A = this chain, B = another copy of it.
C-alpha cells in the first residue's frame, strides 16, 4: 500500500518511515508494555519488514527510548505553553494541570507510556543518548512545575507544602485517570475521553487541587 512513497525527499505532509514506526510502536507499547510487544508486530503495523526497523533504530531499547522521548518532549512543550500564560502562579498552575489532563485524555497512549516509564525501574538497562534525552525532559517538566509552585507559595496563592512529595502526588492524580483503561471505563460509565466524563474529571481534578475534598469546619 502507499505505492511510490519511498522517494528520498519525503512527500510533503506524509510522515516519514521513522515517524510511522514511532507511531506504531507507541501505540503497541502503550497497550502491552515494552516486553509485551514484538518487533515483528511493530513492523507489520507500519507495513515494513522487520529488518527495516533496524535501519532506523539500532535496537529495541533505543526504539522504546525514542518513543518515550517523543512523548516527554510533547508534554514538556505543552506544559511550557500552558505555564506561559498570564495570571497568578496559582492560576497558571491550575491551568497547566487542566491542560495536561486534557492533553493526556486525548492521547491515552501517552499517559500510559508516561506512567510506565515513571514507575518501571529496570525496563531499559543501558544509558543511551535517546534515554538521556527523555530523562532531561522529565527534569525540565519537573522544574517548570516546581518553579510555578514555589512562586505561588511565595506569593501566597498556594499554601506552603513540600514541593517534591506534592509533585509526586500530582503526577499520579493527573496521569493515572487518563491512563486507566478498562478500569476507568467500568468505574465511570463509559470512556474517559467521552466529553461529559472528561468534563467531570477535569472539574474534580481542579476542585480537588483548589479546595480539597473535606469541608472545613466553620467557626
Tallying the copies of this chain within the complex gives 2
Task: List residues 193-219 of chain A with CB under 8 A from any CB of chain B.
Answer: 197, 200-201, 203-205, 207-216
Contacts A120-B33, A213-B210 given; indicate if A177 touches B183 (C-beta within 8 A): no
Q: Which residues of A103-150 have CB atoms within 8 Å of chain B's CB atoms?
A: 112, 115, 118-123, 138, 142
Q: B164–A205 contact, CB under 8 A?
A: no
- Asked if A3 is an interface residue, CB under 8 A from chain B, the answer is no
Residues B119 and A169 in contact, CB atoms below 8 Å apart: no
Q: Which residues of B contact A118 (CB under 8 A)?
A: 176, 180, 183
Residue in B closest to A118 when the chains form the complex, CB atoms: B183
Q: Mark A142-170, 1 if CB is under 8 A from B, else 0.
A: 10000000000000111101101111110
CA distance A184 to B192 in the complex (A): 26
Asked if A84 is an interface residue, CB under 8 A from chain B, the answer is no
- A64 CB within 8 Å of chain B: no
A181 touches B119 (CB 8 A): yes
| B residues less than 8 Å from A216 (CB atoms) | 211
Task: Tell me whether B207 and A161 are in contact (CB under 8 A).
Answer: yes
Q: A68 contacts the other chain (Cβ, under 8 Å)?
A: no
Contacts of A183 in B (CB 8 A): 118-119, 138
Contact of B212 with A122 in the complex, beta carbons under 8 Å: no
Residue contact A176 to B119, C-beta cutoff 8 Å: yes
Name the residue of chain B whose CB is nearest to the CB of A210. Answer: B214
Tell me the bound Cα distance from A204 to B142 in angstroms.
18
Query: Within the complex, what minimum Cβ distance (angstroms) separates A142 from chain B?
Result: 7
A5-42: CB near B (< 8 Å → 1, else 0) gives: 00000000000000000000000000111111000000
16 A-B contact pairs sorted by A residue (CB < 8 Å): A31-B121, A90-B215, A112-B119, A115-B115, A115-B119, A119-B179, A142-B187, A165-B177, A169-B177, A171-B180, A172-B175, A175-B176, A208-B212, A210-B212, A210-B213, A211-B214
Q: Sort A-B residue pairs by CB-CB distance and give the 10 closest, nearest first.
A: A172-B176, A212-B212, A35-B36, A35-B35, A121-B181, A172-B172, A211-B212, A164-B188, A165-B200, A118-B183
